[in-house]
Structure 1
Amino acid sequence: MIPVQGLSGLRVAVLGLGRSGLAAARALRAGNAVPVCWDDNPPAREVAEAEGFECLDLARANAFDGIARLIVSPGIPHLYPAPNSVVVAALDAGVPVDNDIGLFFQSFATSEWDMFDVAPRVIAVTGSNGKSTTSALIHHILEHAGRNSQLAGNIGRGVLDIEPASNGGVVVLELSSYQTDLARSLTPDVAVFTNLSPDHLDRHAGMGGYFAAKRRLFAEGGPDRAVIGVDEQEGAFLAGQLSEGAVDDRVIRVSVDRKLGGPGWNVFARKGFLSEYRNGKQAASIDLRGVAGLPGAHNHQNACSAYAACRALAIAPRVIEAAFHSFAGLPHRSQTIGEKDGVRFVNDSKATNVDSAAKALTAFGSIRWICGGLEKEGGLEGLSGAVDTVRKAYVIGREAAGFAMQLKVEAEVCGTMAVAVARAIAEAEAGDVVLLAPAAASFDQYDSFEKRGDDFVALVRAHLG
């Protein structure tokens, strides 16, 4: 646990008592603050009370009298589309609003660091797609290299649940836009921006607000090194804002669209090969085509981002390459479940938006595509250039008929996962890939993308026998 510093003896309100909220309350108490907790869900309050936390309705009159700060869980809106009433009350009372990420960066460094031979480091990863895989891959490379590493944030453990810093240790954080948008302190040593595509637009009032939330990771604290995917205009703009000039190697530019030139520090992938260039000269090259855990161009982008972040910590290219080959990938992200009669089954339930689904589609040939769910803003037009290898779509979700009508491929309305998997199996031929890449959120039928992926996996494994 990371005890919270700077709030000793003060009453701190915690809104939302899920994983991050409870962890924040525990860390506040460990730092001698006095947590005052609330969740609209009675069972969540019962769990907190069982741990000895005081629960008081933060929506009541004068609730913020004597409160030093409000800590908000990431699922609770603080600005758009409309702020939670408790957040409004805190702001009206002049109480600062923060989250567990802000508390982490406020509290991670301690006086004990003076005794370390090698200072601990924090690598923070954000972006629209590939955050989880990039974060997990960085963590895997560090462990392969013999570095003490912890994985936390939006993946792994809660940021305040991890162990205190160790000599030379590295913390790898995956941070969503919800987390970066509100944190009052953001000071990673290495910050990674994978890419940007439309997502969570209602929460950020459009693309400008969404990009601004991601940009805070780089603007608030000024990382020592910034790894920036420059294939979208927002990434190119961000890299330009952070750089002092063409030779400024504090910015490492990443691309899977083109070869990057110039005298700076560049990492890019073309035709399955990762290349690192510094000062206009090639420093390393890795053949990614045989890396089973990183299939497709979107995973090559993840590989480039992870490679650059680890090179920023002076890990040798050949050590990184060896770690690539032992990386198994993450569940629900281009996860191969198995093969039968020449048909391969791949679970990419994490492809919850159009851009991530398009990248999954371009990673494979001859696809039987299971898609659909709760459609996000922006429609499905972004899929039109990625469906050339799709033989047929099998559409799930409560609005499956409307979803299917927007697709530029032959589509069958299936409704449920069971029907979609059965129909895809019945029609698949040797050489086909049955791919779950929904291009939609799961919440019309499932509690999470993980539950959706688990359903697909269970059905496929029953078929594999």
Structure 2
Amino acid sequence: MIAVTAYEGRRVGVLGLGRSGLATCAALKAGGAEVCAWDDSPEGRAKAEAAGFVPVDLTKQGAVEGLAALITSPGIPHLYPAPHPVIAACLTAGVPVDNDISLFFQSLAGMDEPPKVVCVTGSNGKSTTTALIAHLLAEAGRDVRMAGNIGTGVLSIDLPGEAGVVVLELSSYQTDLARRLAPDVAVFTNLSPDHLDRHGGMGGYFAAKRRLFTEGAPARAVIGVDEAEGRYLAMQLAEGAEDLRVVRVSSGQKLQGPGWSVFARKGFLAEWRGGRQVASIDLRPITGLPGAHNHQNACAAYAAVRALGLAPRQIEAGLASFQGLPHRSQLIGERNGVRFVNDSKATNVDSAAKALQAFPKIRWIAGGLGKEGGIAGLVPFLGSVSKAYMIGHSARDFALQLGTTPHEICETMERAVARAADEAEPGEVVLLAPAAASFDQYPNFEKRGEHFAALVQDLLGA
């Protein structure tokens, strides 16, 4: 755990008592602060009490007066669509509102030799890129900690030792609010519409991501340039085309020019500097990174660890041993030439499109709690789909948008897996890529993916 000493002897509010909130409470207490913890749910307050913190109702009139700061969890709105009442009271009273990511960077600022910090943000591929960076560093013998949006509260980690690295996945909620951002290497994977209600539209969403680079001032910025926003960001950060502080990354296009670039084409990763190629890696045999979207993740991770001093041969060995993350193009197993792949994390159209482009012949399981626009944006990517199996609340709405693609409304995961497995032919992939949220049938995308995996394992064991 990291003891946060910046508020020693002062009252600090903590709003939201999930994983990161409880870790924040413990870190502030260890640093000598008086913690005023609150969660709107009785379950959250009960967890706090079990951890030794007495809840203080910050929603009461005047409760935020005298607070040195309010530390809020990322899931709580601080501006759009409307600030949480406690945050609104703090904004009126002039109480600084911050988050645990900022406290982490504040804590490093006072150290003589802090660890290097790599931060990864973007719309899709953040978790895989973060995990891959940590894996490559660990395989090369570096002391690594991984935290942030990927599942571990950053203040709950123990800092790595000499020459160590902390790798953080950061969501737009986290980058938008943090008062202090100071990564050594910052990675921008890509941008597609998501969380627009929380950012007041696409411009606000991009601005939240952009803060990591413009206010964080990383020594090295790794920027995916396959979208206009990435190209714009790279232009803003670089002094010129030859500026090696900015590494441009792409999947599908050759990047030229006098600067530093890493790109993947036809399954091969290439690194170019100063107008010449300096390294190349064949990504095709790497089962943990299937498809062009994962090749983009590989390029971003490669660039980040190159910026930290790893050699191409070290990176190539680490890539070969990477097994991928659960629920992200995760191979569950194979039977009679049919592979079963869990991409439950594909909760929006853009991530589902990338999954559909990763395999040539697909039995596609999709559906759940559909988002605005449904799956209309996936129509250009349905050529590889032999048949679709629709589940959940949006099953019938999604089916109406499939055009001539064969489909079946299955409603439940059990029926969809059984039908797809029964009809799949050798060489095909049964792919769960829902293009929808999970909350109609599951508490989160992880539980949805776990259910799919369990059903497949039952089939494979039959």
Q: Say whether the 8 Å CA contact 1:277–1:283 is kept in structure 2.
A: yes
- Code of the residue aligned with 1:188 in structure 2: it is P
Following the alignment from structure 1 to structure 2, what is the Cα–Cα distance between the partners of residues 335 and 413? 24
How far does residue 3 in structure 1 lie from its aligned partner after superposition? 1.1
Equivalent in the alignment of 1:205: 200
Equivalent in the alignment of 1:230: 225
How far does residue 266 in structure 1 lie from its aligned partner after superposition? 0.4
Following the alignment from structure 1 to structure 2, what is the Cα–Cα distance between the partners of residues 419 and 379? 22
Q: 2:132 aligns with which of 128, 137, 162?
A: 137
How far does residue 43 in structure 1 lie from its aligned partner after superposition? 2.6
Gapped regions of structure 1 (runs ≥ 5): 114-118
- Code of the residue aligned with 2:218 in structure 1: it is P
How far does residue 112 in structure 1 lie from its aligned partner after superposition? 4.7
Match status 1:420 vs 2:416: yes
Following the alignment from structure 2 to structure 1, what is the Cα–Cα distance between the partners of residues 330 and 43? 35
Equivalent in the alignment of 1:4: 4
How many residue pairs were aligned? 460
Equivalent in the alignment of 1:411: 407
Q: 2:384 aligns with which of 386, 389, 396?
A: 389
Map 1:142-181 to 2 at 5 A: 142-181=137-176
Following the alignment from structure 1 to structure 2, what is the Cα–Cα distance between the partners of residues 279 and 58? 56
- DSSP-derived class of the 1:387 partner: helix
Q: Say whether the 8 Å CA contact 1:446–1:452 is kept in structure 2.
A: yes
Following the alignment from structure 1 to structure 2, what is the Cα–Cα distance between the partners of residues 181 and 378? 26
Following the alignment from structure 2 to structure 1, what is the Cα–Cα distance between the partners of residues 276 and 330? 35
Q: Say whether the 8 Å CA contact 2:143–2:160 is kept in structure 1.
A: no
Map 1:32-181 to 2 at 5 A: 32-113=32-113, 120-181=115-176
Q: Say whether the 8 Å CA contact 1:2–1:108 is kept in structure 2.
A: no
Equivalent in the alignment of 1:116: none
Map 1:415-454 to 2 at 5 A: 415-454=411-450
- Code of the residue aligned with 2:87 in structure 1: it is V
Match status 1:254 vs 2:256: no
- DSSP-derived class of the 1:223 partner: coil
How far does residue 46 in structure 1 lie from its aligned partner after superposition? 2.2
- Code of the residue aligned with 1:365 in structure 2: it is P
Q: Say whether the 8 Å CA contact 2:145–2:160 is kept in structure 1.
A: no
CA displacement, residues 58-100 of structure 1 (integer Å, 9 cap, x when unaligned): 1101101211101111111111111111110111111010111
- DSSP-derived class of the 1:237 partner: helix
How far does residue 461 in structure 1 lie from its aligned partner after superposition? 0.7
Q: Say whether the 8 Å CA contact 2:19–2:152 is kept in structure 1.
A: no
Map 1:242-281 to 2 at 5 A: 242-281=237-276
How far does residue 165 in structure 1 lie from its aligned partner after superposition? 4.4
How far does residue 156 in structure 1 lie from its aligned partner after superposition? 4.1
Match status 1:341 vs 2:326: no
How far does residue 51 in structure 1 lie from its aligned partner after superposition? 2.9
CA displacement, residues 264-291 of structure 1 (integer Å, 9 cap, x when unaligned): 0000000000000000010100000111
Gapped regions of structure 2 (runs ≥ 5): none
**4+ long deviations beyond 4 Å:** none
Following the alignment from structure 2 to structure 1, what is the Cα–Cα distance between the partners of residues 269 and 447? 34
Following the alignment from structure 2 to structure 1, what is the Cα–Cα distance between the partners of residues 373 and 302? 32
Following the alignment from structure 2 to structure 1, what is the Cα–Cα distance between the partners of residues 139 and 2? 25
Per mean C-alpha deviation after superposition, the further-off stretch among 103-112 and 308-317 is: 103-112
- Code of the residue aligned with 1:302 in structure 2: it is N
- DSSP-derived class of the 1:388 partner: helix
Match status 1:364 vs 2:355: no
Per mean C-alpha deviation after superposition, the further-off stretch among 409-418 and 8-17 is: 409-418
How far does residue 257 in structure 1 lie from its aligned partner after superposition? 2.6
Q: Say whether the 8 Å CA contact 2:370–2:393 is kept in structure 1.
A: no
Following the alignment from structure 1 to structure 2, what is the Cα–Cα distance between the partners of residues 31 and 333? 38
Equivalent in the alignment of 2:320: 325
- Code of the residue aligned with 1:221 in structure 2: it is G
- Code of the residue aligned with 1:157 in structure 2: it is T
Sequence identity (%): 68
Following the alignment from structure 2 to structure 1, what is the Cα–Cα distance between the partners of residues 172 and 401? 28
- Code of the residue aligned with 2:460 in structure 1: it is L
How far does residue 228 in structure 1 lie from its aligned partner after superposition? 0.1
Following the alignment from structure 2 to structure 1, what is the Cα–Cα distance between the partners of residues 250 and 373? 25
Q: Say whether the 8 Å CA contact 2:252–2:266 is kept in structure 1.
A: no
